[in-house]
Amino acid sequence: MKHRLMPSAVALCLAAVPALAEIQPHQFKVVGTWGNLASWNDLEKPFWAEALPAASGGALTAEAIPITEAGLKGGEVMRLLSQGVFEVAHGLGSYVAAENPAIEGTDLSSIAPDFATMRAIADAYRPIMDETFRSTYGATILSLHPWPASMIYCTSPITSIADLKDRKVRVHSATLGDFVEGAGGVAVTIPFAEVVPALEKGVADCAITDPMSAYNAKWHEVITDVFVLRVGYSITFTAINTQLWDSLPEQTRAAMTTALADMESRAWADAEVKEASGVACLTGGDCPLGEAGTAVLHEPGEGDIAARQAILDDFVLKRWGERCGADCATRWNDTAGKAAGLVVPVN
Protein backbone atom coordinates (compact mmCIF):
# COMPACT_ATOMS: atom_id res chain seq x y z
CA MET A 1 0.00 0.00 0.00
CA LYS A 2 2.80 2.43 0.86
CA HIS A 3 4.53 1.82 -2.48
CA ARG A 4 1.37 2.65 -4.40
CA LEU A 5 0.64 5.85 -2.43
CA MET A 6 4.11 7.39 -2.45
CA PRO A 7 4.33 8.05 -6.22
CA SER A 8 0.94 9.75 -6.09
CA ALA A 9 2.04 12.01 -3.25
CA VAL A 10 5.24 12.87 -5.08
CA ALA A 11 3.28 13.61 -8.23
CA LEU A 12 1.01 15.98 -6.33
CA CYS A 13 3.97 17.84 -4.91
CA LEU A 14 5.65 18.11 -8.30
CA ALA A 15 2.38 19.30 -9.85
CA ALA A 16 2.26 22.14 -7.34
CA VAL A 17 5.79 23.33 -8.14
CA PRO A 18 5.07 24.81 -11.59
CA ALA A 19 2.14 26.80 -10.20
CA LEU A 20 4.38 28.44 -7.61
CA ALA A 21 7.22 28.77 -10.08
CA GLU A 22 4.95 30.75 -12.39
CA ILE A 23 4.54 33.47 -9.75
CA GLN A 24 7.06 36.13 -10.66
CA PRO A 25 8.90 37.66 -7.68
CA HIS A 26 7.67 41.07 -6.55
CA GLN A 27 8.31 43.11 -3.43
CA PHE A 28 5.36 45.38 -2.71
CA LYS A 29 5.67 48.80 -1.11
CA VAL A 30 2.95 48.76 1.55
CA VAL A 31 1.64 51.22 4.13
CA GLY A 32 -0.57 49.89 6.91
CA THR A 33 -2.67 51.33 9.71
CA TRP A 34 -1.47 52.34 13.20
CA GLY A 35 1.54 50.40 14.44
CA ASN A 36 0.36 50.26 18.05
CA LEU A 37 -3.08 48.85 17.22
CA ALA A 38 -4.42 45.37 16.57
CA SER A 39 -5.25 45.67 12.87
CA TRP A 40 -1.59 46.18 11.97
CA ASN A 41 -0.05 43.83 14.52
CA ASP A 42 -2.49 40.93 14.20
CA LEU A 43 -3.59 41.13 10.55
CA GLU A 44 -1.72 43.43 8.18
CA LYS A 45 1.87 42.86 9.32
CA PRO A 46 1.56 39.03 9.52
CA PHE A 47 -0.09 38.96 6.10
CA TRP A 48 2.84 40.62 4.34
CA ALA A 49 5.56 39.07 6.47
CA GLU A 50 4.24 35.51 6.61
CA ALA A 51 0.96 34.63 4.89
CA LEU A 52 1.59 36.00 1.40
CA PRO A 53 5.20 34.77 1.14
CA ALA A 54 4.00 31.31 2.25
CA ALA A 55 1.13 31.33 -0.26
CA SER A 56 3.47 32.28 -3.10
CA GLY A 57 6.42 30.06 -2.34
CA GLY A 58 8.40 33.09 -1.24
CA ALA A 59 7.92 34.93 -4.53
CA LEU A 60 5.71 37.71 -3.15
CA THR A 61 7.15 39.77 -0.33
CA ALA A 62 6.75 43.31 0.95
CA GLU A 63 8.42 46.30 2.47
CA ALA A 64 5.50 47.07 4.78
CA ILE A 65 5.34 49.79 7.43
CA PRO A 66 2.47 51.27 9.47
CA ILE A 67 1.51 54.91 9.03
CA THR A 68 2.89 55.69 12.48
CA GLU A 69 6.35 54.56 11.38
CA ALA A 70 5.97 56.50 8.13
CA GLY A 71 4.99 59.64 10.06
CA LEU A 72 1.66 59.89 8.24
CA LYS A 73 -1.95 60.62 9.14
CA GLY A 74 -4.81 58.37 8.06
CA GLY A 75 -6.06 60.76 5.42
CA GLU A 76 -2.78 60.84 3.50
CA VAL A 77 -2.32 57.21 2.52
CA MET A 78 -4.43 57.10 -0.64
CA ARG A 79 -2.99 60.30 -2.06
CA LEU A 80 0.49 58.81 -1.64
CA LEU A 81 -0.63 55.57 -3.26
CA SER A 82 -2.04 57.45 -6.23
CA GLN A 83 1.31 59.26 -6.52
CA GLY A 84 3.23 55.98 -6.55
CA VAL A 85 4.92 56.37 -3.16
CA PHE A 86 3.20 53.14 -2.07
CA GLU A 87 1.76 50.31 -4.15
CA VAL A 88 -0.65 48.95 -1.54
CA ALA A 89 -2.40 50.71 1.33
CA HIS A 90 -4.50 49.62 4.28
CA GLY A 91 -6.69 52.36 5.68
CA LEU A 92 -10.07 53.43 7.00
CA GLY A 93 -12.67 54.69 4.57
CA SER A 94 -13.80 57.34 7.03
CA TYR A 95 -10.31 58.88 7.02
CA VAL A 96 -10.14 59.30 3.24
CA ALA A 97 -13.80 60.12 2.58
CA ALA A 98 -13.07 63.85 2.27
CA GLU A 99 -11.89 63.10 -1.28
CA ASN A 100 -15.22 61.48 -2.17
CA PRO A 101 -18.16 61.09 0.27
CA ALA A 102 -19.19 57.82 -1.40
CA ILE A 103 -16.19 56.17 0.28
CA GLU A 104 -17.89 56.66 3.66
CA GLY A 105 -20.75 54.38 2.60
CA THR A 106 -19.53 51.41 4.62
CA ASP A 107 -18.66 53.50 7.68
CA LEU A 108 -21.91 55.36 8.30
CA SER A 109 -22.64 55.60 12.01
CA SER A 110 -25.15 53.15 13.46
CA ILE A 111 -26.16 51.44 10.19
CA ALA A 112 -25.57 47.94 11.60
CA PRO A 113 -26.51 46.51 15.01
CA ASP A 114 -24.15 43.51 14.66
CA PHE A 115 -21.26 42.08 12.67
CA ALA A 116 -23.44 39.87 10.45
CA THR A 117 -25.41 42.86 9.21
CA MET A 118 -22.24 44.90 8.79
CA ARG A 119 -20.63 42.19 6.66
CA ALA A 120 -23.70 42.00 4.44
CA ILE A 121 -23.50 45.79 4.00
CA ALA A 122 -19.79 45.70 3.17
CA ASP A 123 -20.23 42.87 0.67
CA ALA A 124 -23.13 44.65 -1.03
CA TYR A 125 -21.32 47.99 -1.25
CA ARG A 126 -17.91 46.64 -2.24
CA PRO A 127 -18.43 47.08 -6.02
CA ILE A 128 -19.33 50.74 -5.43
CA MET A 129 -16.26 51.16 -3.20
CA ASP A 130 -14.05 49.62 -5.86
CA GLU A 131 -15.47 51.83 -8.60
CA THR A 132 -15.08 54.90 -6.38
CA PHE A 133 -11.45 54.08 -5.51
CA ARG A 134 -10.65 53.50 -9.17
CA SER A 135 -12.05 56.87 -10.23
CA THR A 136 -10.73 58.82 -7.21
CA TYR A 137 -7.31 57.27 -6.62
CA GLY A 138 -6.60 54.91 -9.51
CA ALA A 139 -6.77 52.07 -6.99
CA THR A 140 -8.51 48.72 -6.71
CA ILE A 141 -10.11 47.34 -3.55
CA LEU A 142 -8.71 43.93 -2.60
CA SER A 143 -10.37 43.40 0.79
CA LEU A 144 -12.67 44.96 3.38
CA HIS A 145 -12.72 44.00 7.04
CA PRO A 146 -13.96 45.60 10.26
CA TRP A 147 -12.54 46.83 13.49
CA PRO A 148 -14.59 46.09 16.63
CA ALA A 149 -17.63 48.31 17.00
CA SER A 150 -17.06 51.94 17.95
CA MET A 151 -18.31 52.87 21.42
CA ILE A 152 -18.27 55.91 23.71
CA TYR A 153 -15.74 56.60 26.50
CA CYS A 154 -15.99 59.55 28.90
CA THR A 155 -14.21 61.17 31.82
CA SER A 156 -17.47 61.43 33.79
CA PRO A 157 -20.53 59.15 34.06
CA ILE A 158 -22.51 58.41 30.89
CA THR A 159 -25.50 56.14 31.27
CA SER A 160 -27.51 57.04 28.17
CA ILE A 161 -27.38 58.85 24.83
CA ALA A 162 -29.06 61.78 26.56
CA ASP A 163 -25.90 62.29 28.64
CA LEU A 164 -24.02 63.35 25.50
CA LYS A 165 -25.91 66.64 25.41
CA ASP A 166 -23.49 69.58 25.41
CA ARG A 167 -20.45 67.33 25.85
CA LYS A 168 -17.40 67.69 23.61
CA VAL A 169 -16.93 64.32 21.94
CA ARG A 170 -13.87 63.36 19.90
CA VAL A 171 -14.80 61.76 16.59
CA HIS A 172 -12.71 60.49 13.67
CA SER A 173 -15.23 60.89 10.86
CA ALA A 174 -17.92 63.17 9.53
CA THR A 175 -20.59 60.54 10.08
CA LEU A 176 -19.72 60.11 13.76
CA GLY A 177 -19.84 63.88 14.02
CA ASP A 178 -23.38 63.71 12.63
CA PHE A 179 -24.28 61.16 15.30
CA VAL A 180 -22.83 63.24 18.15
CA GLU A 181 -24.58 66.40 16.96
CA GLY A 182 -27.81 64.46 16.55
CA ALA A 183 -27.46 63.47 20.21
CA GLY A 184 -27.01 67.11 21.24
CA GLY A 185 -23.26 66.91 21.73
CA VAL A 186 -20.41 68.89 20.22
CA ALA A 187 -18.21 66.95 17.79
CA VAL A 188 -14.48 67.68 17.92
CA THR A 189 -11.86 66.23 15.58
CA ILE A 190 -8.63 65.23 17.33
CA PRO A 191 -5.85 63.00 15.95
CA PHE A 192 -5.88 59.57 17.54
CA ALA A 193 -2.45 60.02 19.12
CA GLU A 194 -3.63 63.19 20.89
CA VAL A 195 -6.83 61.85 22.45
CA VAL A 196 -5.42 60.98 25.88
CA PRO A 197 -4.02 64.47 26.58
CA ALA A 198 -7.21 66.01 25.14
CA LEU A 199 -9.28 64.02 27.62
CA GLU A 200 -6.89 64.88 30.46
CA LYS A 201 -7.05 68.62 29.72
CA GLY A 202 -10.80 68.77 29.09
CA VAL A 203 -10.41 69.57 25.39
CA ALA A 204 -12.76 66.61 24.99
CA ASP A 205 -15.19 65.16 27.53
CA CYS A 206 -15.67 61.90 25.68
CA ALA A 207 -14.19 60.07 22.70
CA ILE A 208 -15.29 57.41 20.22
CA THR A 209 -13.29 54.46 18.88
CA ASP A 210 -13.39 50.68 19.24
CA PRO A 211 -12.63 49.23 22.69
CA MET A 212 -9.48 47.33 21.69
CA SER A 213 -7.93 50.43 20.18
CA ALA A 214 -8.97 52.45 23.24
CA TYR A 215 -7.17 50.00 25.53
CA ASN A 216 -4.05 49.74 23.37
CA ALA A 217 -3.83 53.54 23.29
CA LYS A 218 -4.17 53.65 27.10
CA TRP A 219 -7.47 55.50 27.19
CA HIS A 220 -8.29 53.48 30.32
CA GLU A 221 -5.77 55.62 32.20
CA VAL A 222 -7.95 58.74 31.78
CA ILE A 223 -11.56 57.64 31.22
CA THR A 224 -13.98 56.78 34.01
CA ASP A 225 -16.93 55.35 32.10
CA VAL A 226 -17.63 53.19 29.03
CA PHE A 227 -21.00 53.30 27.27
CA VAL A 228 -21.14 50.15 25.12
CA LEU A 229 -23.65 51.45 22.59
CA ARG A 230 -22.44 50.41 19.14
CA VAL A 231 -22.35 53.57 17.03
CA GLY A 232 -20.51 52.26 13.97
CA TYR A 233 -18.06 49.77 12.50
CA SER A 234 -14.91 51.21 10.94
CA ILE A 235 -14.04 49.22 7.83
CA THR A 236 -10.42 48.71 6.83
CA PHE A 237 -9.75 48.57 3.11
CA THR A 238 -6.82 47.00 1.33
CA ALA A 239 -6.23 48.90 -1.93
CA ILE A 240 -3.63 48.46 -4.66
CA ASN A 241 -2.59 50.75 -7.49
CA THR A 242 -4.86 49.69 -10.36
CA GLN A 243 -2.22 50.07 -13.06
CA LEU A 244 0.09 47.78 -11.09
CA TRP A 245 -2.71 45.30 -10.34
CA ASP A 246 -3.70 45.02 -13.98
CA SER A 247 -0.06 44.50 -14.98
CA LEU A 248 0.58 41.64 -12.57
CA PRO A 249 0.55 38.09 -13.98
CA GLU A 250 -2.64 36.12 -13.47
CA GLN A 251 -0.91 33.70 -11.10
CA THR A 252 0.22 36.59 -8.90
CA ARG A 253 -3.26 38.10 -8.74
CA ALA A 254 -4.77 34.69 -7.96
CA ALA A 255 -2.34 34.03 -5.11
CA MET A 256 -2.95 37.47 -3.62
CA THR A 257 -6.74 37.22 -3.98
CA THR A 258 -6.84 33.85 -2.22
CA ALA A 259 -4.53 34.94 0.59
CA LEU A 260 -6.41 38.21 1.16
CA ALA A 261 -9.76 36.43 1.20
CA ASP A 262 -8.43 34.22 4.00
CA MET A 263 -7.18 37.26 5.93
CA GLU A 264 -10.53 38.98 5.41
CA SER A 265 -12.53 36.02 6.77
CA ARG A 266 -10.29 35.72 9.82
CA ALA A 267 -10.54 39.45 10.41
CA TRP A 268 -14.33 39.42 10.61
CA ALA A 269 -14.28 36.65 13.21
CA ASP A 270 -11.36 38.24 15.07
CA ALA A 271 -13.13 41.60 15.39
CA GLU A 272 -15.93 40.07 17.46
CA VAL A 273 -13.46 38.47 19.86
CA LYS A 274 -11.45 41.67 20.17
CA GLU A 275 -14.58 43.72 20.87
CA ALA A 276 -15.39 41.64 23.94
CA SER A 277 -11.75 41.57 25.08
CA GLY A 278 -11.41 45.32 24.65
CA VAL A 279 -14.44 46.06 26.79
CA ALA A 280 -13.19 43.67 29.47
CA CYS A 281 -9.73 45.27 29.43
CA LEU A 282 -11.19 48.74 29.91
CA THR A 283 -13.64 47.84 32.65
CA GLY A 284 -11.87 45.49 35.05
CA GLY A 285 -12.71 42.21 33.36
CA ASP A 286 -10.53 39.31 32.27
CA CYS A 287 -7.95 41.08 30.09
CA PRO A 288 -5.66 39.00 27.85
CA LEU A 289 -3.46 42.02 27.09
CA GLY A 290 -2.36 43.12 30.53
CA GLU A 291 -3.70 44.96 33.55
CA ALA A 292 -7.34 45.93 33.13
CA GLY A 293 -8.67 49.44 33.58
CA THR A 294 -11.30 50.38 36.12
CA ALA A 295 -13.85 52.29 34.03
CA VAL A 296 -17.51 51.72 34.87
CA LEU A 297 -19.45 49.73 32.28
CA HIS A 298 -22.85 51.04 31.15
CA GLU A 299 -25.17 49.02 28.89
CA PRO A 300 -27.65 50.84 26.61
CA GLY A 301 -31.34 50.49 27.36
CA GLU A 302 -34.28 50.19 24.98
CA GLY A 303 -34.63 53.96 24.96
CA ASP A 304 -31.04 54.30 23.76
CA ILE A 305 -31.61 51.86 20.90
CA ALA A 306 -34.66 53.87 19.83
CA ALA A 307 -32.75 57.14 20.16
CA ARG A 308 -29.87 55.76 18.07
CA GLN A 309 -32.32 54.81 15.31
CA ALA A 310 -33.89 58.28 15.37
CA ILE A 311 -30.46 59.92 15.09
CA LEU A 312 -29.57 57.56 12.25
CA ASP A 313 -32.71 58.46 10.32
CA ASP A 314 -32.84 62.19 11.04
CA PHE A 315 -29.16 63.10 11.04
CA VAL A 316 -26.70 60.44 9.85
CA LEU A 317 -28.40 59.20 6.69
CA LYS A 318 -29.89 62.58 5.78
CA ARG A 319 -26.62 64.51 6.13
CA TRP A 320 -24.57 61.90 4.31
CA GLY A 321 -27.09 61.88 1.47
CA GLU A 322 -26.68 65.64 1.17
CA ARG A 323 -22.87 65.34 1.10
CA CYS A 324 -22.88 62.50 -1.38
CA GLY A 325 -25.65 63.60 -3.77
CA ALA A 326 -28.75 61.99 -5.23
CA ASP A 327 -27.01 59.53 -7.55
CA CYS A 328 -24.66 58.37 -4.79
CA ALA A 329 -27.58 57.96 -2.34
CA THR A 330 -29.58 55.98 -4.88
CA ARG A 331 -26.70 53.59 -5.48
CA TRP A 332 -26.23 53.15 -1.73
CA ASN A 333 -29.94 52.42 -1.29
CA ASP A 334 -29.79 49.78 -4.04
CA THR A 335 -26.81 47.98 -2.46
CA ALA A 336 -25.86 48.67 1.16
CA GLY A 337 -29.30 50.04 1.97
CA LYS A 338 -31.02 46.82 0.92
CA ALA A 339 -28.61 44.79 3.04
CA ALA A 340 -29.21 47.08 6.04
CA GLY A 341 -32.92 47.65 5.56
CA LEU A 342 -32.32 51.40 5.44
CA VAL A 343 -32.96 54.23 2.99
CA VAL A 344 -30.98 57.42 2.49
CA PRO A 345 -33.36 60.26 1.54
CA VAL A 346 -32.89 61.25 -2.11
CA ASN A 347 -33.61 64.88 -2.91
Domains and CATH numbers, the chain: 25-147+233-275 (3.40.190.170), 151-232+281-324 (3.40.190.170)
Name the pTM for this structure: 0.89
Residue 16 has pLDDT above 60, yes or no: no
Residue 25: other Cβ atoms inside 10 A: 11
Of all helices (H) and strands (E), which one includes residue 14? helix 2-21
Mean pLDDT of the chain: 92
What is the percentage of the chain residues whose pLDDT exceeds 90?
88
Residue 14 has pLDDT above 60, yes or no: no
Least confident of 20-24, 125-129, 137-141, 226-230: 20-24
Local confidence band at 347 (pLDDT 50, 70, 90 cut-offs): confident
Local confidence band at 172 (pLDDT 50, 70, 90 cut-offs): very high
What Å distances lie between residue 308 and 26, 302, 320, CA to CA?
A: 47, 10, 16
Q: What is the mean pLDDT of the segment spanning 121-150?
A: 96
Q: What is the mean pLDDT of the segment spanning 244-253?
A: 96
Q: What is the mean pLDDT of the segment spanning 68-85?
A: 90
- C-alpha to C-alpha distance for 157 and 152, rounded to whole angstroms: 11
Local confidence band at 72 (pLDDT 50, 70, 90 cut-offs): confident
